[in-house]
Amino acid sequence: MLLALWSPKGGSGTSIVAAACAVVLARHCGARLVDLDGDQPAIFGLAAEPDIGILDWLALGPEAPTDALNRVALHAAPGLALIPRGVERTLAPVASAEAGAALAVALRDDGLSAIADLGTARTPATRAVGEVADASIIVVRGCYLALRRAVHAPLLEHTTGVVLLEEPGRSLGAGEIAEVLGRPVLATMPVRESIARAVDAGVITSRLPEPLARPAARLLGRIQMLAGPRGAVA
């Protein structure tokens, strides 16, 4: 199964949500995290952005061998393989939508559940991953500008639901956001200093804050990637 996470506006927290979901999923059944935005190595405390990554795979086009995905994967945490973005090559062509769709199919049909961090889904390839994924989730804050962009985003048509990052002082709540986007809010995550400190320190694999872990598990349960006892949502 493939879960794709994206946002209409940078700085919305998509990469943090993706990392939290990947860590929670890996603890239960193993997972693969595909970084199409570029922030995951820093979030997981890796020394540097690897030179080789998913951009190189996409550059090969829709016929790229699926086994090559394993060769560029890194060990990020117990049970979690991270496929980094890699370095964007000078004068390299923009990866095609066909290559993105092929990547999504390869991840979706693999035995290991996958989470794709699409960032703002600004390229044809990243949008195609979101379109083909089993579940495409938009990550937003209660921000008027973000919602304004979201309603005009091509990927919204293929979006399953919403993750809302709740900030103090925002006037827009889950009900208003669900109404504007026409999609249910499947999970809410608070914006807290403790979460920022854990991310900045690169320790979320060993000390995933509970305000991240619980909503991540709730989201995974609601899209049926993760189930609790007797099939209940975790």
pLDDT at 228: 55
d(CA 8, CA 198): 25
| Structure-model confidence comparison of residues 88 and 117, the more confident one | 117
C-alpha separations of 137 from 36, 73, 117, 183 in Å: 15, 24, 10, 10
Q: Are strands 2-6 and 74-77 parallel, antiparallel or unpaired?
A: unpaired
Give the tens place of pLDDT for each residue, 63-89: 999 999 999 999 999 999 999 999 888
Residue 46's closest CA among 81, 14, 70?
81
Angle, helices 124-132 vs 97-109, to 10°: value is 30
Work out whether the CA dihedral 38, 6, 76, 1 comes out positive or negative. Answer: negative
Residue-range domains of the chain with CATH: 2-227 (3.40.50.300)
43-64 tens-digit pLDDT = 998 877 788 999 999 999 999 9
Looking at the DSSP assignment, which residues form a beta bridge with residue 99? Answer: none
161-213 tens-digit pLDDT: 999 999 887 878 999 999 999 999 999 999 878 788 878 777 788 788 898 99
- Asked if the model's pLDDT at residue 234 lies above 70, the reply is no
